[in-house]
Amino acid sequence: MSGRVAESAREILDKAIPQTLTRDDHREGVKLISKMLAKTGITSAHEAQGTPTDLLAYQDAHAAGELLYRAYCFINYRYIDSMIAAGVRTGLGDDWVRVGAMKLVCDGSISERTARLSTAYAGRPNDFGILVMTEDELYSYGRKAHLAGWQIGTHANGDVGIDTTLRVYERLQRENPRHDPRFRLEHCTVINDDLVRRIKALGAIPTPFSTYVYYHGEKMKYYGAERLNHMFALRSFLDAGIPATQASDYPPGEFIPMMALQSEVTRADIKGNVWGPKQKITVEEAIRVGTIHGAYASYEENLKGSLEAGKVADLVVLGRDPLKRSLLP
């Protein structure tokens, strides 16, 4: 075999890999990632592509005293029928392990350069990226979840993918209005003014990559300088009053909070190249994006995200004050 296999095409290879992991293996996996995240100062995380098996692993790790952060567990759309039939929906659980949104996937990725764009990739005039699911498929699964009280989080990177996802969300609310559905746009990378306006009107929550500019600097050239001023667009979201939060997309992107802070504030990669400087935000804004906005994205702003009376005392001690020290390497 030659060439590159990406996105849904990998399913053919995945099916050929023996699945022999036990329940204890899955619990050990949670134990391992728990130690990795806690070591960097993470106290809460959203598992953005989970299964019922993963949810059970989080519960097992918590029961064994091995879960060191609070987990908000998305469930892949393929399992939504059985979850709804069992009476499971977003919010079920406790302060440590909670059922999150149903996960859909609209288009491709930024690091693989398969996100669906309205204009071609730089240097590749016939390449606009791909759609992974059709609009009808997104609506069909989304309607089931929406009617059953689930939050929905859809992977949408390119401006075409975001536009498609917003049409689905707008249709769901138009046909069956729900109070505060908090639709999520996972990644929501390439934006324009009209998309920002619609996101604001819908009350949707973008979760742009937190560390991609720093960690994937070598790939930024494929998007072009002008488009990069409309990517990972925290400045645009915050200026519009949209409570955007952040996502590492680990393992494609690192989850280290201080790397996220540096990337969002400086927009510089590991070599010091600056990509999309118009989307820089302040240190104070970056801290808010990664704390209170993250809690809001999981309906938990009254539980955590800030140090206030009545909330959990989740805090970390840093070796230096990011408000006083340069974030440059």
pLDDT of residue 226 exceeding 90 = yes
pTM: 0.94
What is the residue range of 55's domain?
7-297
pLDDT score for 20: 87
Q: Which helix (H) or strand (E) holds 135?
A: helix 135-147
Whether 310 is covered by a domain: the verdict is no
Helix (H, G, I), strand (E, B) or coil at 252: coil
Query: How confident is the model over 247-294, as pLDDT tens digits?
Result: 999 999 999 999 999 999 999 999 999 999 999 999 999 999 999 999
Q: Which of 317, 315, 217, 329 is nearest to 273 (CA)?
A: 217
- Total domains in the fold of the chain: 1
Query: What mean pLDDT, rounded, does the chain reach?
Result: 94
pLDDT score for 5: 66
**Spatial separation of the C-alpha atoms in residues 61 and 23, rounded to whole Å:** 11
Q: Which helix (H) or strand (E) holds 80?
A: helix 80-85
Confidence of residue 116 (pLDDT cuts 50, 70, 90): very high
pLDDT score for 1: 53
Whether 68 is covered by a domain: the verdict is yes
CB atoms inside a 10 Å sphere around CB 306: 11
123 or 76, higher pLDDT: 76
- What is the amino acid identity at position 217? G
DSSP string spanning 295-312?
HHHTT-TTTSSS--TTS-
Distance from chain centroid for Cα 252: 12
Helix (H, G, I), strand (E, B) or coil at 230: coil
Whether 319 is covered by a domain: the verdict is no
**Percent of the chain, pLDDT > 90?**
88
pLDDT of residue 6 exceeding 70 = no
Whether 40 is covered by a domain: the verdict is yes
CA angle 171, 227, 248 (to 5 degrees): 70
CATH number at residue 158: 3.20.20.140
Give mean pLDDT, residues 207-232.
94
CA angle 249, 292, 264 (to 5 degrees): 50
pLDDT score for 59: 98
**Spatial separation of the C-alpha atoms in residues 289 and 323, rounded to whole Å:** 15
pLDDT score for 2: 57
**Spatial separation of the C-alpha atoms in residues 155 and 273, rounded to whole Å:** 27
Whether 84 is covered by a domain: the verdict is yes
Whether 313 is covered by a domain: the verdict is no
pLDDT of residue 327 exceeding 70 = no
Residue 46 makes CB contacts below 8 A (sequence gap 6+) with 71, 72, 74, 100, 247, 294, 297, 298
Whether 306 is covered by a domain: the verdict is no
Whether 174 is covered by a domain: the verdict is yes
